[in-house]
């Protein structure tokens, strides 16, 4: 397949959204974070210097990559400003037509280096294949495990999901459920309207903020832009059936809220707010809420329950699989930062060689 990549001027984000949606429909299992619901949310603010690369094969669009330019850096699907990137992106990648990934991904990433004045590529929340396709030299890299539950495999094997968990996790879940059930039957509800979703989101933010402030940290919604972004995102996602905002309760008492996204049968457990103040000694609202949500997802036919990045104990306890996500900055091989990378590699090689010689 012969692929041609060219930069395209973004004259209107509304027009770009239409083109993005068309390609999204032709993509193979795009993540929610590749959808226009996420990428296009408050796009006019987030991409003040957009660089759009479009790949075509035989005149048909087969790939789109949206970057923002900032101080010689191209940021993939992010702005490059900390406040505007406070909505944390994961499973990030260019959008590709199904069946073209092996050719179009490297073509788009290599074309990014050819844009005027680009010295760095900044890739947040990407799979290793995206970093590999980018080329250049990796100046910084941070890896995080992203645990998930393969619901389709559990369903295909005919297993009871709880039976697949460790004995300790099952014990913790049973004890927590008994504790909360004293107030009444445990139940999960999904926000049925946009108004309800926004109201529940505000309650989630209050619980989330209280928990993180007790830990001396601001939490995910501390910045005003993050709140505006997520309220806007809810308004975009809810009518499309891509919002999975859940409330878990026992009797009249709310245990917590789960702010999840849903696309292509995959549930993304993005954020949460739990009532730890009334949990008591044996109540584990986070573990209990996610366990009930997983059972709900199994019953509704979802294929993946994705806990996203982070090695929190509850994620590892409940999951049965994982992938690695990377946050990396790459540089041109013969730039000054590239030469520093080479020097670091040479120094490590020399140190390793000397250590080997001493051991020998």
Same structural domain, 181 and 228: yes
Selection from 345, 344, 337, 339 nearest residue 73 by Cα: 337
Bridge-based pairing state of the strands 243-250 and 186-190: antiparallel
| DSSP string for residues in 114-182 | TSTT--EEEEEEE-HHHHHHH-SEEEEEEEEEEEEEEHHHHHHHT--GGGGS-HHHHHHHHHHHHHHHT
Question: What would the mean pLDDT of 338-351 be, rounded to a whole number?
Answer: 61
Which range in 161-165, 279-283, 349-353 is most confidently predicted, on average pLDDT? 161-165
| Residue 36 pLDDT > 70 | yes
Same structural domain, 153 and 284: yes
pLDDT band at residue 349 using 50, 70 and 90 as cut-offs: low
Residue 358 main-chain phi, psi, to 5 deg? -65, -40
Per the structure, the complete domain to which residue 96 belongs is given by 4-135
| Residue 159 pLDDT > 90 | no
Same structural domain, 151 and 91: no
Selection from 147, 125, 92 nearest residue 269 by Cα: 147
Same structural domain, 162 and 261: yes
Write the pLDDT tens digit of every residue in 63-118.
Answer: 999 999 999 999 999 999 999 999 999 999 999 999 999 999 999 999 999 999 99
Residue at which a domain ends, from 67, 101, 135:
135
358 domain-assigned = no
Same structural domain, 162 and 293: yes
- Buried b / exposed e across 332-354, counting CB within 10 Å, b at 16+? beebebbeebeeeeeeeeeeeee
| DSSP string for residues in 285-325 | HHHHHHHHHHHHHHHHT-SEEE--S---HHHHHH-SEEEEE
Is the pTM above the cut of 0.75?
yes
pLDDT band at residue 345 using 50, 70 and 90 as cut-offs: low
CATH of residue 11's domain is: 3.40.630.30
Q: First and final CA of the chain: distance in angstroms?
A: 52
């Amino acid at each position: 397949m012969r692929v041609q990549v060219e930069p395209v001027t973004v004259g209107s984000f509304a027009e770009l959204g239409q083109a993005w949606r068309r390609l999204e429909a032709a993509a193979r299992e795009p993540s929610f974070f590749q959808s226009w619901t996420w990428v296009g949310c408050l796009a006019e603010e987030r991409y003040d210097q957009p660089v759009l690369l479009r790949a075509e094969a035989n005149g048909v669009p087969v790939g789109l990559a949206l970057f923002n330019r900032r101080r010689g850096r191209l940021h993939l699907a992010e702005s490059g400003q900390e406040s505007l990137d406070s909505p944390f992106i994961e499973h990030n990648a260019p959008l590709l037509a199904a069946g073209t990934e092996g050719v179009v991904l490297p073509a788009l990433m290599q074309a990014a280096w050819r844009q005027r004045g680009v010295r760095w590529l900044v890739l947040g929340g990407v799979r290793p294949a995206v970093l590999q396709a980018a080329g250049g030299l990796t100046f910084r890299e941070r890896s995080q495990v992203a645990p998930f539950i393969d619901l389709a495999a559990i369903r295909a094997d005919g297993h009871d999901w709880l039976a697949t968990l460790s004995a300790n996790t099952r014990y913790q879940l049973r004890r927590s459920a008994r504790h909360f059930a004293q107030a009444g039957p445990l139940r999960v509800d999904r926000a049925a309207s946009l108004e309800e979703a926004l109201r529940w989101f505000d309650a989630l933010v209050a619980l989330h903020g209280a928990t993180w402030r007790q830990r001396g940290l601001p939490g995910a919604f501390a910045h005003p832009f993050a709140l505006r972004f997520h309220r806007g995102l809810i308004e975009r996602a809810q009518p499309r059936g891509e919002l999975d905002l859940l409330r878990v309760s026992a009797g009249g008492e709310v245990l917590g809220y789960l702010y999840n996204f849903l696309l292509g049968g995959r549930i993304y457990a993005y954020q949460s707010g739990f009532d730890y103040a009334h949990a008591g000694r044996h109540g584990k609202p986070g573990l209990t809420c996610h366990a009930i949500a997983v059972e709900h997802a199994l019953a509704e036919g979802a294929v993946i329950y994705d806990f996203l990045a982070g090695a929190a104990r509850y994620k590892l306890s409940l999951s049965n699989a994982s992938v690695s996500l990377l946050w990396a900055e790459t540089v041109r091989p013969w730039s000054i930062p590239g030469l520093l990378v080479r020097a670091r590699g040479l120094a490590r090689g020399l140190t390793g060689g000397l250590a080997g010689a001493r051991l020998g």
